[in-house]
Every structure is written in C-alpha cells, then in structure tokens.
Amino acid sequence: MDSIMLWKDQYELGVPLIDAQHKELFRRVGSFLQVLRSEDAWEEKIPKLDDTLEFMKRYVVEHFRAEEDYQQKIDYPGYEFHKQIHDGMVQYVQEVSQQYEQSDHNEDLMQQFGGRLLAWLINHVAAEDQRIAEYAKRKGLSGNEG
Amino acid sequence: MKDKLYNAFVEATRNVFNLMLNITDISHRQAEDFQCDDEVDIAIGIVGDLDGEVVFRFPVSTSLNMVRIMSGMEFEEVDLFVTSAISEIANIISGNVLTALSDSEMQCNLLPPVQCEIENHKKYDLETSSCLGTAIGEICLEIRLNRP
C-alpha cells in the first residue's frame, strides 16, 4: 500500500518549528491510520499501533507545549482558549490509551479513536492554529519567533 | 432566534467544509424534502440557555466521501472509524456555532456526539431544518431546541 499523505501545504503557519512539528505529527498519524485500516489481522497490527500510541502520548504533549510557548512569546490573545483545547485532547489521548490497555487491545476502541483523531487534527491545524498565524501576521511578527 | 440559529449552523458548516475538506460551493434550502434511506444520524445535545439537540443527517455516500477526502484512503462502508470521524465534524461545527453565538446573550454547552435515530413526535419551541448541497453529497441539519 502506498503511504498516505495527510499533510497539505495550506496548513503551514510560517513558523518553522511549529510547521516541522505539525508535519511530523501528520506523518505519524498517517502511518497510524494506514496500519489501523490495513487488511492485516488485528493481532499483527497491535505492536505498530502500540508504538504510535506511545509516540503520540509523548509528542502531542511536547508539540502542544512548544506551540503554547510560541503563543505566549507573541502575546497571542487566544492563548487560554487554545490551551484548553490542547488540554482536552491530551486528556482524551490518555483516557483512550488507558482504556485500550485495560481492554487488552480492543479494536473498536482504536477505530473510534482513529476517526476522531483524524478529524480533530485536521480541524485544529487548518482552523484553530491558523488563527495564531493570522495574529502574528497582523502584528508584523516574523515566523522566526518560534 | 430561529433564523439566527439556522444561519449560524449553515455558516459554520460552510466554513468547516471549506477548511477541512476544501469544499467551497455549498447551497442550502429548507429540508422538508430531504429523502435518504441510508443515512448516519449524529445528535449533538445542547444544554444551557437553550436545551435540546441538533441532528446532523449524513447520507452514507456523503459520509464516505468526507472521510476519503480527509484521509486520502478509500472507505467502502460506514464503520466505527467513519462514524467517529463524522461525529467529530458535527461536534466541531456545533462548537463553532456556540462560540459565534456566545458573543451575543446566549450561553450553552454541548454534549458529546451520539449516533441516533430521528424522532419526529416531540414538539420544540424552536424547530428548523436545513438541507445543504455540496459537491460530495447532501447533509441535513435538524435543529430542535426548547427554552428551559
């Protein structure tokens, strides 16, 4: 199966650090979805899905922190609201991950997680994060503050 | 208020489809003649100054197209992954409507999306529906709210 490309250039914010992290996030979520939706037996998919889930738990927190630092640096007025969205997603990833472990790798749980993650990530980067870039542009800040 | 809600949902759907799916051309009309035998109905509960729900009625073909555009993968049936992805889109649209309306006097919260079956026997203070036509198929919105 060809690898899927979730990333679109229109998602770029013009902040090099954040854009690089977004691309990595999209790449990993793309690989995750590809394994999740493949024709392979569920048991064969579990190790790869576990790896990605572990990566996501670490990387999502790291990326959100970097994005929040950038927002504070440029005095982004939507910082508190944006942080609430991030905190909600971190909590969701942790809860699903815990339920998944407790259920001994329940497939239904992971399929539901995958669908929600896909839509959430695209909306978050294509809509919510773009507001940060628009603010920075309006204030005449260059993308290098990230 | 009815028109305000109707317009807010149409506008939010238009924006979300544009940003998430690159679909810009969306028409809308009253939904009395919306006919679909194989739809996925997603209800988002609303509590607060208004109380009730908004039901997003996604025909199967529309649902599959939405997920195909987002993921770049082909889907042949509506399964848990597809239902979850379109539920999140319904949630995003509804969240954007509440954010837009919170600038006015209204304060409400959303309940998590659930797959449902449309019930038509209840009466609501505010009831309106809209059918949105897009390049990837139609969507129907049923808005049913009471003032507590």
- List A residues 28-87 in contact with B (Cβ-Cβ < 8 A): 33-34, 36-37
User: In DSSP terms, which residues pair with B40 in a beta bridge?
Assistant: B58
Q: Using an 8 Å Cβ cutoff, are A28 and A51 in contact?
A: no
User: In DSSP terms, which residues pair with B139 in a beta bridge?
Assistant: B132
Average pLDDT over every residue of B49-65: 94
pLDDT attached to residue A142: 60
> Can you state the angle between helices B60-71 and A107-123, rounded to 10 degrees?
70
Number of domains in chain A: 1
Instruction: State the average pLDDT for chain B.
Output: 90
The Cβ-side half-sphere exposure at A84, using a 13 Å CA radius, reads: 3
**Residue B60, SS3?**
helix
> Contact B92/A108, CB-based, under 8 Å?
no
> Contact B73/A112, CB-based, under 8 Å?
no
Q: What would you report as the CA-atom Rg of chain A, rounded to the nearest whole angstrom?
A: 16
Q: Which of A42-56, B20-34, B132-146 has the lowest mean pLDDT?
A: B20-34
pLDDT attached to residue A6: 92
Average pLDDT over every residue of B17-21: 95
- Report the residue from A6, A108, A130 with minimal CB separation from B71: A6
User: Of all helices (H) and strands (E), which one includes residue B133?
Assistant: strand B126-134
In whole angstroms, what is the distance from residue B142 CA to residue B118 CA?
Answer: 9
Which residue ranges make up each domain of chain B? 2-146
In whole angstroms, what is the distance from residue B117 CA to residue B39 CA?
Answer: 10
In whole angstroms, what is the distance from residue A54 CA to residue B66 CA?
Answer: 28
> Contact B19/A5, CB-based, under 8 Å?
no
Closest CA to B115 of B69, B80, B142, B140: B80
Instruction: State the average pLDDT for chain A.
Output: 91
Tokens 């793309």 sit at which residue? Answer: A30
Q: What contacts A79, CB < 8 A, 6 or more positions away?
A: A68, A71, A72
Average pLDDT over every residue of B6-11: 90
Residue A9 placed within a domain: no
Residue A146 reports pLDDT greater than 60: no
Q: Using an 8 Å Cβ cutoff, are A4 and B72 in contact?
A: yes
Residue A2 placed within a domain: no
pLDDT digits (tens, 9 = 90+) for B64-114: 999 999 999 999 999 999 999 999 999 999 999 998 887 777 788 999 999
Identify all chain A residues contacting B70, using CB atoms and an 8 Å cutoff. 6, 118-119, 122
Q: Which of A27-41, A57-71, A86-100, B17-31 has the lowest mean pLDDT?
A: B17-31
In whole angstroms, what is the distance from residue A131 CA to residue A115 CA?
Answer: 24
Provide the CATH number for the domain around residue A113.
Answer: 1.20.120.50
> Contact B19/A126, CB-based, under 8 Å?
yes
Q: Using an 8 Å Cβ cutoff, are B22 and B111 in contact?
A: no
Q: Please state which architecture CATH assigns to domain B2-146.
A: 3-Layer(aba) Sandwich (3.40)
Considering only residues B58 and B36, tell me which one the structure prediction assigns the higher pLDDT: B58
**Residue A87, SS3?**
helix
Residue A91 placed within a domain: yes
In whole angstroms, what is the distance from residue B28 CA to residue B12 CA?
Answer: 13
Residue A146 placed within a domain: no
pLDDT attached to residue A47: 94
pLDDT attached to residue A145: 52
Residue B24 reports pLDDT greater than 70: yes
Structure tokens given for A22: 């977004």
Domain that holds residue A131: 15-139
pLDDT attached to residue A50: 92
